Chain A
Amino acid sequence: GQNIDQPTEMTATEGAIVQINCTYQTSGFNGLFWYQQHAGEAPTFLSYNVLDGLEEKGRFSSFLSRSKGYSYLLLKELQMKDSASYLCAETILTGGGNKLTFGTGTQLKVEL
């Protein structure tokens, strides 16, 4: 079966660093996405990892360990606008196409 776990809520201070963890259990795993979603809006793409290691993109970085079934999203120099839900999603290539399974999301609150 497929099971993605991530914390429900996190709080951090403006200017700080926060790490959001995600674990997954699935056969046929073939990549992991992180999306950002503000309340009432559609998710927007942040990062994609398929190989072990760290992918850096500006203030955001994402890490993957396939052997551990583990990923994290690292946000640096936090800003108030980073307050949002962060969705971890694993991708599996099936006969019917590219299928994503999402975690429940981590609601991040950035405070002054």
Chain B
Amino acid sequence: DGGITQSPKYLFRKEGQNVTLSCEQNLNHDAMYWYRQDPGQGLRLIYYSQIVNDFQKGDIAEGYSVSREKKESFPLTVTSAQKNPTAFYLCATTSGGNVRNEQFFGPGTRLTVL
């Protein structure tokens, strides 16, 4: 089945540890995005990538890093420099630079840092 996979759905880590969230897609979409959602707030853009081996900072990139070595994969690393990492993380894709294309979202990973 075509779609976007994020695993695991729930993730727990100790404070001070880096953690990498996975996002895989088989939609053959060019662009991929990472968002963070906190309770009572909308989605905030962390990083996005239009093509392989290229990515751009979003609005809240500090404390995060990404890579885009393959078209299908866009992993997000939450580093120990991120002060408030506990949140719901959503990965999204879109098929290209055409602004009419809506973003398709994965199921999300809920990260809790203890």
Contact = CB atoms under 8 A, between A and B. Distances in A.
Interface string B26-65: 0000010101000011111100111000001011000000
A100 B45 contact: yes
Contacts of B59: 101
> How big is chain B's contact interface, by range?
20 to 34
Contacts of B108: 40-42
Contact of A91 (B56, B88, B99): B99
B94 A98 contact: yes
A50 B102 CA distance: 12
Given A99-B45, A99-B58, A100-B103, 19 more contacts: A30-B99, A33-B102, A42-B106, A43-B43, A45-B102, A50-B100, A91-B99, A93-B99, A96-B48, A96-B50, A96-B56, A97-B50, A98-B31, A98-B97, A98-B98, A98-B101, A102-B35, A103-B42, A105-B42
